[in-house]
Structure 1
Amino acid sequence: MKKIYNYIAALGTVLLLSACDSDLEKVTYNSTEAVPAALEEIKTPCVLDNKKSDEVAMILNWIAPEIIYSGGYSAAVTNYIEMDVAQNNFANKMILSAATITDVSKSFTHGELNTNILKLLKDAYGMDVENDPETFVARNFEFRIQSSISTEATPVYSNVITVNITPYSMDIAYPEVYVIGNYSSWKWDTAQSLFSFKENEDYEGVIDFGDKSQGFKITGDKNWDNGNYGASGDAVIEDEAAEITLINDGGSKDLSCYSAYRFYRFTFNTSTLVLKKNLGFNQLGIVGTAVGSWDNDVVMEFDAEKQRFYADVTLTEGEMKFRLDGAWNTSFGSSTEGLLDSGDNIKVPAGNYRVYVNLNNSANQTYELNAEDYNK
């Protein structure tokens, strides 16, 4: 099996609140009289599972804080959810998310929580999260809520709760089927794959056909004996068909209807034999103030072995997004660091980075800024 390197350099979202100096001068409250948020205990250990990456793993519930103001001014309160390894007094805290004063609950999926933990262990504690098996043992993590009206005001903190969590490796050899065709010279060693991220009958991935997209089939192994999926001999297939029902037969025809684009993201179900085209595009680009322009794309390369996009860039502090084919018809932003899960601009620090983007898993599209890999 081929490994898909999906390590994400981070989840965790910080919403920065601001107010003009004149308004901040009007806002006063006594932090010693404020009633902090009260987090509910979680007594059940949490074992994270890559097969459930988009399912809820943990829910934090709390009673909202009470903050009384003076000066005739009412400011919005934001609750910042913080996490650290237990018994470290939050010295290396990570902010997982931010919630308004009216929010009293926050859920985290297996994938979100796992990525946060790996980010924390790597960046704050220097662990080799890709190779050290000690990364993936059960350990205690502490959570608390910081409530604040602005960066200028003294925050108040909730009680601390401890949760025992076992993370999983993001470097997983997922089950795969092989897309073999003209682009790979009909050789399995250079064929790319569709992956079953939930280890079931659903397979998905981005295929780079280059300029040789005419003609391919799907096989269940690196041979013709364990699934030989192609078009029915009497099937009439439209160019760029949204979906096709294949047959598993040595006499099946090559699929030659996808030739308009270089890259395609397909899904294939080995039970129903339905192949779907989810995306078709010719380039993935980076735009934004961080790369100098919202109009001119930094075009990313594609690593066919790891099936992910990359580009070496010098970023200035600013914002960026990813988009297809130099247009805004399809673009990717982030509301959760490390995930391409929204249309929000991505705030980035200045520096030299190799930027990775992985679009194979539509339920868990990711990006990473990796300073160590720059120009390697």
Structure 2
Amino acid sequence: MNLINRLLILFCLSSVLFVSCEKDEVKTIAKDGQSGNLTSSTTNVALTKATLNSKVIEFTHTNSDFGYNAGITYSLQFGLKGTNFTPARETVFENGVTMKSYTGLELNNLLSAMNLSFDEDSDVEVRLKSSISNSIAVYSNVVNIKSKPIPLTSWIYLPGAYQGWDPATADSLVSATGNGIYTGILRFPAKDSEFKITTAKNWNVNFGDGGNGTISPTGGNFKSIAAGTLLITMDMNSNTWTMEAAPTWGMIGDAVPNSNWAVDADMKFVNDGAGNWVLKTVLNPGKFKFRRNHDWGTNLGGSGGILTLAGADIAITEAGTYTVTMNPTALTFSIVKN
């Protein structure tokens, strides 16, 4: 009898443990998710330069439910109506935050990145994506908004002695947000190199130096403070300007004619807001690197279009004329044979 009792007790215990394990395992399986609801503060956003720094729209969501206390990642997806969010522009909510607002500038940048028309409103769909993994996600109701981006980037031009006083071919300064403050990096051959500002690639409207750091429509010629690469800022709102030394980038190596790892071929900064330096040059079979300020203290090398500090020499296998572009901020480069 004792043996039978012991066997019964062991059987009961094993049954309890089996059921307990089953219950524990069920707790880790998510049920089909139920998405939260998405609302917006408005459905029609008229963007202007006056609203760039103001909140123009706000999205709010309720929480989604996956059947247990999951770590849910919430994000907003934007897509052009009719594309089924392919592709989708996505913005992740901060942890624990259920509202996301956009300033005029932020929304304008997003709509511009979607390549929407500047000329007429587009129908944009917005939805909430709730995910607990890369493969498990649910989507909310779709909110429809109408809006169009506005072109913000604007330029002024600097014809001067450094390029033959020709507005049509003059270097430019850029205002990335069209706020009237223009910046750019130019290279001057000598100190006191003279130039002026034009608002277009002609002499119809031009400005000069009003003295004491001011800009005047009747002013004389501006003058560079030194030879070399200079950062220029022109504030057309306050009619003031500044000029200061700026870093320069060049190419050095046996692939660069007349360099031989001793002399840099200076690159030109492109004043379009992207931060690129460009040089169109003949290159020979060999290698080269990028250097800042003609000094090995900061040099960049690499491969596959990716740069690293003090990275590997970049190889050229075939002689020819190339356009070389590099971005020291993004640490990228390209070499295109012309």
Q: Give the TM bin, normalised by the shorter chain.
A: 0.5 to 0.7
SS of structure 1 residue aligned to 2:159: strand
Kindly provide the amino acid, as one letter, of the partner of residue 147 in structure 1. S
Deviation digits for residues 99-124 of structure 1, max 9, x if unmatched?
24412122334454344445445xxx
Question: Any residues of structure 2 matched to 1:28-39 within 5 Å, and which?
Answer: 28-32=28-32, 34-39=33-38
Kindly provide the amino acid, as one letter, of the partner of residue 128 in structure 2. I
Kindly provide the amino acid, as one letter, of the partner of residue 61 in structure 2. W
Pair 196,145 (structure 1): closer, same or farther in 2 beyond 3 Å: same
Q: Distance in 2 between matches of 1:300 and 1:46?
A: 46
State whether structure 2 residue 111 is matched by structure 1 residue 145. no
Deviation digits for residues 189-247 of structure 1, max 9, x if unmatched?
332233455656x2313132254464234334567785542263xx6xxxxxxxx3455
Q: Distance in 2 between matches of 1:328 and 1:83?
A: 44
Report the aligned-residue RMSD: 4.7
Q: Distance in 2 between matches of 1:354 and 1:60?
A: 43
Native 8 Å contact 1:78 1:147 kept in 2: yes
**Structure 1 residue aligned with 2:208:** 229
Q: Distance in 2 between matches of 1:224 and 1:148?
A: 58
Kindly provide the amino acid, as one letter, of the partner of residue 161 in structure 1. V
State whether structure 2 residue 147 is matched by structure 1 residue 165. yes
Report how far residue 180 of structure 1 moved.
3.2
In the superposition, the TM-score normalised over structure 2's length comes to: 0.58
Question: Any residues of structure 2 matched to 1:1-376 within 5 Å, and which?
Answer: 28-32=28-32, 34-49=33-48, 55-69=54-68, 76-90=71-85, 92-120=86-114, 136-152=119-135, 154-168=136-150, 174=154, 176-195=155-174, 202-212=180-190, 214-220=192-198, 226-230=205-209, 232=211, 244-246=213-215, 249-250=218-219, 252=220, 254-259=222-227, 261-264=228-231, 266-277=232-243, 280-283=246-249, 301-302=267-268, 309=276, 375=337
Report how far residue 177 of structure 1 moved.
3.8
Aligned length: 263
Greater relative contact order, per chain length (Cα 8 Å cut-off, separation 6+): 1
Q: Distance in 1 between matches of 2:333 and 2:57?
A: 28
Q: Distance in 1 between matches of 2:241 and 2:167?
A: 20
Deviation digits for residues 20-65 of structure 1, max 9, x if unmatched?
xxxxx99835243x44232114543123346755654432222233
Q: Percent identity?
A: 19
Q: Distance in 1 between matches of 2:266 and 2:93?
A: 34
Q: Distance in 2 between matches of 1:142 and 1:370?
A: 35
Higher mean displacement: 137-146 or 212-221: 212-221
Unmatched segments (≥5 aa) in structure 2: 1-24, 252-264, 280-289, 299-322
SS of structure 1 residue aligned to 2:93: strand
In the superposition, the TM-score normalised over structure 1's length comes to: 0.53
Pair 231,81 (structure 1): closer, same or farther in 2 beyond 3 Å: same
Unmatched segments (≥5 aa) in structure 1: 1-24, 122-128, 236-243, 286-298, 313-321, 330-352, 360-365
Pair 370,217 (structure 1): closer, same or farther in 2 beyond 3 Å: closer
The structure richer in strand per residue is 2
Report how far residue 275 of structure 1 moved.
0.9
Q: Distance in 2 between matches of 1:82 and 1:191?
A: 42
Kindly provide the amino acid, as one letter, of the partner of residue 163 in structure 1. I
Q: Distance in 2 between matches of 1:178 and 1:246?
A: 14
Q: Distance in 2 between matches of 1:180 and 1:111?
A: 31
Native 8 Å contact 1:144 1:159 kept in 2: yes
Report how far residue 80 of structure 1 moved.
2.2
Kindly provide the amino acid, as one letter, of the partner of residue 203 in structure 1. I
Q: Distance in 1 between matches of 2:337 and 2:106?
A: 29
SS of structure 2 residue aligned to 1:30: coil
Pair 206,323 (structure 1): closer, same or farther in 2 beyond 3 Å: farther
Report how far residue 257 of structure 1 moved.
1.7
Q: Distance in 1 between matches of 2:76 and 2:244?
A: 35
Larger radius of gyration: 2
Pair 304,49 (structure 1): closer, same or farther in 2 beyond 3 Å: same
Q: Distance in 2 between matches of 1:324 and 1:42?
A: 48
Q: Distance in 2 between matches of 1:192 and 1:310?
A: 14
Pair 111,84 (structure 1): closer, same or farther in 2 beyond 3 Å: same
Kindly provide the amino acid, as one letter, of the partner of residue 80 in structure 2. V
